[in-house]
Amino acid sequence: MASLGSPCAQPLKTRINLSSEELEDLDRKLRLEFGPFVVSSERAEEIKRMLALADKDIEDHDSEVARLQKQIIVVQAEKQRLEKQQSKLRSLLSPIRKLSNEILLNIFQYVCEENFLQSYPWFLNWGPPTKLTSPIITYLPTMVISTVCSRWRTLALSSPNLWANVEVEIQAVSSDQAKALIGFTDTVARYLEKSGDWPLRVALSISVDDGTEFPSLIYLAQHAHRWRTFRLNGYESLRHHTIPSLWSELHFPLLTELDIPHGDLDCFEHSPRLCTLATNNILPSEAPYHQLRHLNLRKSFSKLVEALHRCPSIKSLELQGWENDPEYGACYTWPNITSLVIEAGDGFYPKSYMKMVLLSFALPSLRAIVLESDRIEPYPWSTENFISFISRSSCVISTLTLRSVSLSDSDLIAVLRVMPSLLHLEIDDKIMSGVYNTPRSPITSYLMLSLIQHELTSISLVPKLHTLHLDPNYRTRTFDDSAFVRMVESRWFRPGSDLSVTMSAMGRDCIRSVVLKFNWREVDAEVYKPLRVLDKEGLRVVVAGTNGIQV
């Protein structure tokens, strides 16, 4: 008898079971026998009896199938339970569980540097300043971390610093519209609540139309005493486009960094720790200019001179000029400035602006210079003006950074000759396109050969160079890899070796770090093989191309 079922069930017995011979005979009769007398009455009764038994057998099998299906469901559920247990057991061996809470929190701090909160729904006729390309939750890393698991949630909720970095985009709304923003305002309030007493990093964008209510702004203002850094994006004014009376009452005891249009500077009169300011003008104001140490000014040269007179303690100066002022004949000496950044934006007059700064300034304490541009066209250059500026200032430059500055190799070499104490040199040409002019790049074979140090020669270009960072432009198709390798080898010697003693006696330092990056070509690893040896000896070497890091 045939049987179905699991070992734990009774064998399923069938009531009819035709033998193979009987089945063959049945098939034969179905094929060959027909007519009114093919089946006798006795045989017909037997067949009907067998059909009735077959019906009962089918019912039994249906019942067995139903029982087995239920058993399958039970087995599948058991399998899922085992898989969950297996997953939990495997999680015990997960590498991330080996991380201490301190290391995990360091990772969280890196991930949660910015939490972006955008007003929703958006009621204004124009869209919000930032177009979201992913679900809003992906812009709230701290919120996400707090929902992963109990450990992460505990760490997130016990770490107020993770909630203290917020960028908020708000809109002026009517009282009725404000009711629809309760979810957004609750989220802002939640971040402020969870950040506890931790100092806040706040960035704010304001969009204004006919509305007069700013519920989220009120929340932020209530925590102004915790603002450590504040940046106002866009062109709207806190004083004129929000709630004027609100800002006159606020104090900012922890505020150290401020980026804001000049018209709102009076709002931050009570900021005893303010030392860094980025703005587009320095006008007569109650703001604490006298205590500023770092200034980023986005305006014309005449306003710059006025600004520096109002800020006598400035040590770091970043200039983003675009207006074409008359050239100044007077020379201004600023004895405290140690760092200077001149950036040419998309304006029309970067050449005259740079010229005015170099010809009209003397900075005797200057140590670091950065010249850069985000323009399509390369930054203009005048070797004569630059050398005159260095000579007039009588400064000792230790750091020189040139980004998108169009100058020849001979121009750069002339500049380096007046910087014998230079420690750090960075040249980045990668974004210069030369739509209107063919840009000049100083990263050439001649520069590499000029930087080679010879043991028997007392004269050396930038003999104390410690770090070199090069990002050649894609037009530099003939980059001399071999000359670069020779140059690096000539500047490396093991500390404490006889060569080190000799070089030190000649006033030369060992190079410590070399970075070379190509964003337009591959790197031949074989050519740079000698630098791998130096890397193992202690020199930091990074050589990367479109085929990845090769050294």
Give tens-digit pLDDT for 41-84. Answer: 776 777 787 788 888 888 888 988 999 999 999 999 999 999 99
Q: What are phi and psi of 115, to 5 degrees?
A: -115, 120
Evaluate if residue 340 carries a pLDDT over 90. Answer: yes
* Per-residue pLDDT band at 37 (split at 50, 70, 90): low
Query: CA-CA distance, 180 to 173, in Å (whole number)?
Result: 10
Determine, yes or no, domain membership for 547: no
Q: Which residue has the tokens 């005259």?
A: 352
Task: Let me know whether 119 and 192 are in one domain.
Answer: yes
Determine, yes or no, domain membership for 381: no
* Per-residue pLDDT band at 173 (split at 50, 70, 90): confident
Task: Let me know whether 265 and 153 are in one domain.
Answer: yes
- E-strand stretches of 234-285: 257-259, 276-279
Higher pLDDT, 500 or 144: 144
Domains in the chain, number: 2
Task: Let me know whether 176 and 282 are in one domain.
Answer: yes
Choosing from 292, 321, 339, the residue where a domain stops is 292
Average pLDDT score, the chain: 84
State pLDDT tens for residues 254-273. 999 999 877 788 888 899 99
Task: Let me know whether 65 and 117 are in one domain.
Answer: no
Task: Let me know whether 65 and 198 are in one domain.
Answer: no
State pLDDT tens for residues 136-172. 889 999 999 999 989 999 999 999 999 999 999 988 8
Task: Let me know whether 66 and 159 are in one domain.
Answer: no
Determine, yes or no, domain membership for 505: no
Task: Let me know whether 59 and 174 are in one domain.
Answer: no
* Per-residue pLDDT band at 23 (split at 50, 70, 90): low
- E-strand stretches of 352-417: 361-362, 368-373, 399-403
Evaluate if residue 5 carries a pLDDT over 50. Answer: no
Task: Let me know whether 244 and 110 are in one domain.
Answer: yes
Evaluate if residue 94 carries a pLDDT over 80. Answer: yes
Task: Let me know whether 61 and 180 are in one domain.
Answer: no
Evaluate if residue 513 carries a pLDDT over 80. Answer: yes
Query: CA-CA distance, 72 to 62, in Å (whole number)?
Result: 15
The reported pLDDT for the residue numbered 129 is 86
- What's the CA angle centered on 236, arms 190 and 256, to 5 degrees? 60
SS3 of residue 422 by DSSP: coil
Determine, yes or no, domain membership for 225: yes
The reported pLDDT for the residue numbered 52 is 84
Determine, yes or no, domain membership for 192: yes
Task: Let me know whether 6 and 141 are in one domain.
Answer: no
Query: CA-CA distance, 395 to 480, in Å (whole number)?
Result: 33
**Residue 200 β-bridge partners:** 227
Range of the structural domain that residue 112 is part of: 101-126+133-292
Evaluate if residue 515 carries a pLDDT over 90. Answer: yes
181-209 as b/e, with b when 16 or more CB fall inside 10 Å?
Answer: beebbebbbebbebbeebbbbbbbbbbbe
Determine, yes or no, domain membership for 336: no
Q: Do 527 and 543 touch, CB atoms closer than 8 A?
A: no
Determine, yes or no, domain membership for 443: no
Q: 288: which residues sit within 8 A by CB, 6+ positions away?
A: 269, 271, 272, 274
Task: Let me know whether 143 and 274 are in one domain.
Answer: yes
Evaluate if residue 291 carries a pLDDT over 80. Answer: yes
pLDDT > 70: percent of the chain: 84
The reported pLDDT for the residue numbered 101 is 94
Q: How many CB atoms lie within 10 A of CB 307?
A: 23
Q: What is the pTM of this model?
A: 0.77
Evaluate if residue 197 carries a pLDDT over 90. Answer: yes
In this predicted structure, which of 85-89, 193-197, 274-278 has the lowest mean pLDDT? Answer: 85-89
